[in-house]
A and B are shown apart, each in its own frame.
Chain A
Amino acid sequence: MPSTWWLRNPRYFLYMLREVTSIFVYLYALAFVVQFLLLADRGLFDAFRVLFTSSVFRAFTGVVLVMAVVHAITWWSLNAGVFRIRLRGRTLPPAALFAGGMLAWIVVSGLVYLLVFRGF
Chain B
Amino acid sequence: MADEIILRVTRYRPEQSPLPFHEDFAVPFRNDMMVLDALAYVKDHMDGSLAFRWSCRMGICGSCGASVEGTPRLTCSTFLHEIRKPIVRVGPLGHFPVIKDLVVDMDDFMRKLQQVMPWIIRESEKPLERGEYSQLPEQVELYRQQSLCINCMICYAGCPVYGLEPEFIGPAALALAYRYNVDTRDHGSKERLARLIGRTGLWECTYVGECSVVCPKNVDPAGAIQRLKAPGAIQAIQILLPPILRR
Interface, chain A (partner B; CB < 8 A): 1, 5-6, 8-9, 11-12, 15, 19, 78, 81-84, 86
- A11, B220: Cβ atoms under 8 Å? no
- B160, A1: Cβ atoms under 8 Å? yes
- B145, A15: Cβ atoms under 8 Å? no
How many residues belonging to B are interface residues under a CB distance threshold of 8 Å? 18
What 9 A-B pairs come out closest when comparing CB atoms? Answer: A82-B212, A1-B163, A82-B222, A78-B209, A15-B208, A82-B209, A83-B223, A82-B223, A1-B164
Residue ID in chain B nearest A5 by CB atoms = B160
What distance in Å separates the Cβ of A6 from its nearest Cβ neighbour in chain B? 7
CA A11 to CA B158, docked complex, whole Å: 11
- A84, B210: Cβ atoms under 8 Å? no
Interface, chain B (partner A; CB < 8 A): 70-71, 141, 145, 160, 163-164, 206-210, 212-213, 218, 220, 222-223
What distance in Å separates the Cβ of A86 from its nearest Cβ neighbour in chain B? 8
CA A86 to CA B145, docked complex, whole Å: 12
The 8 Å CB contact of A6, one of B70, B160, B220, is B160
A84-B145, A84-B223 are known; give 5 further A-B pairs, CB within 8 A: A5-B164, A11-B208, A15-B210, A82-B209, A82-B213
User: Which residues of A are found within 8 Å of B163, using beta-carbon distances?
Assistant: 1, 5
- A84, B220: Cβ atoms under 8 Å? yes
- B209, A15: Cβ atoms under 8 Å? yes
CA A83 to CA B212, docked complex, whole Å: 9
User: Which residues of A are found within 8 Å of B71, using beta-carbon distances?
Assistant: 9
User: Which residues of B are found within 8 Å of A15, using beta-carbon distances?
Assistant: 160, 206, 208-210
CA A81 to CA B210, docked complex, whole Å: 10
Most chain A CB within 10 A, of B206, B209, B212, is at B209
